[in-house]
A and B are shown apart, each in its own frame.
Chain A
Amino acid sequence: MASVSNEGQRPPGRTALTDMTVMTHDNPDGGKPGLVITELAHLGKINLRGGSDMLPVISNHTGCSALPDNNRVVSVGDRHIVWLGPDEFLLLCAAGSETHLHSQLTLDMAGIHAAVTNVTDSLCALSLRGKAVRRVLAKGCALDLHSSKFGTGDCAQTMLAHAAVTLIAHDAPGFTLVCRTSFAPYVTEWLMDAGLEFGASFRG
């Protein structure tokens, strides 16, 4: 699956991490930092509650042919449907596109027992890249993060250093981490600290 990205642009408007200092801890072994954190500022996030009868509508607006299986993500282009529970999904979309998408989904879901909620600003998304990503996450997470157990297209809601997070694994050694906006500075600072021994950078 393609990774979630903001295509190099940072949309205007404050986020939870606006005031975080851009910083780099050099890799003690030389070379690139083992962990590179980038905020996916204002990445569109829409929470979907409902059953399989939502599929035609979701399919129409994302191009997906099926809803994701348990613990899996379905991606078509820049739209990602993340499985959260038996009747709950998180739809990720390009920053700025969520308002229109939300109203379209809401209109088309009329008559279906479903809830569509725009949670873009309630959650914060981070891109985590680098060779040491899995080793850094493993310091604060009880999941088995070996690539044979948690690989491309897998997702999980779990705890990272006592914070509730949603982890999404991509093909490159990279993850998208989604957490509550109010937890974002804590999670970022924890990640920078846990990544110290591998070199870590936060690009904002």
Chain B
Amino acid sequence: MLLITCPHCGPRDESEFSCGGEAHIARPLAENNLTDAEFADYLFLRDNPKGLFLERWRHAAGCRRWFNMARDTVTHEIVEIYPMGSGPASQAGKAAHAASWRRDTAAEAAAKPAPKARAKKEQVS
């Protein structure tokens, strides 16, 4: 059993939490420009590494808030717990984030606003 430190409630038993799977999967904005295979990377494919894994967790039986966790899938060591919407702060966490195959996918590239679209927006305003 893991003892997980909820950012709001403090250390609690694992049974109070639910795991939401891989973190940092951004939804492609320009999804019509993607092939089905590229979109499948975003929609279906999930990492299952042996070692450090960046995951989303929710304190389901407590404050019901989401947070991110960097957990070693072999030793169960929790390296870091950090808020939703931000990246890992630890060296190991940053390295795991950078090493993910997802960083090189067309789906993730399409999750960032295109420079063209941004320029258009600025013109309008």
Contact = CB atoms under 8 A, between A and B. Distances in A.
Contacts of B63: 84-86, 88, 157
Contact of B8 (A70, A142, A143): A70
Given A70-B8, A71-B9, A156-B9, A142 B62 contact: no
Where chain B touches its partner, the secondary structure class is: loop
Given A70-B8, A86-B8, A142 B65 contact: no
B115 interface: no
Where chain A touches its partner, the secondary structure class is: strand
A159 B64 contact: no
A88 B65 CA distance: 11
Nearest to A159: B61
Contacts of B64: 85
Interface string B1-15: 000000011101101
Interface string B43-77: 00000000000000000011111000000000000
B99 to A, nearest CB: 32
Contacts, number: 35
A164 interface: yes
A142 B9 contact: no
A116 B63 CA distance: 18
Given A142-B13, A142-B15, A157 B8 contact: no
B16 A142 contact: yes
Interface residues of B, number: 12
A157 B60 CA distance: 10
A7 B108 CA distance: 61
Nearest to B64: A85
Contacts of A142: 12-13, 15-16
Contacts of A159: 15-16, 61
Given A71-B10, A85-B8, A86-B8, A158 B65 contact: no
B65 A164 contact: no
Contact of B61 (A71, A86, A88, A157): A157
Contacts of A143: 12-13
Nearest to B62: A157
B14 to A, nearest CB: 9
Interface of B: 8-10, 12-13, 15-16, 61-65
Q: Which 4 A-B pairs have the closest CB atoms?
A: A142-B13, A85-B63, A157-B62, A159-B61
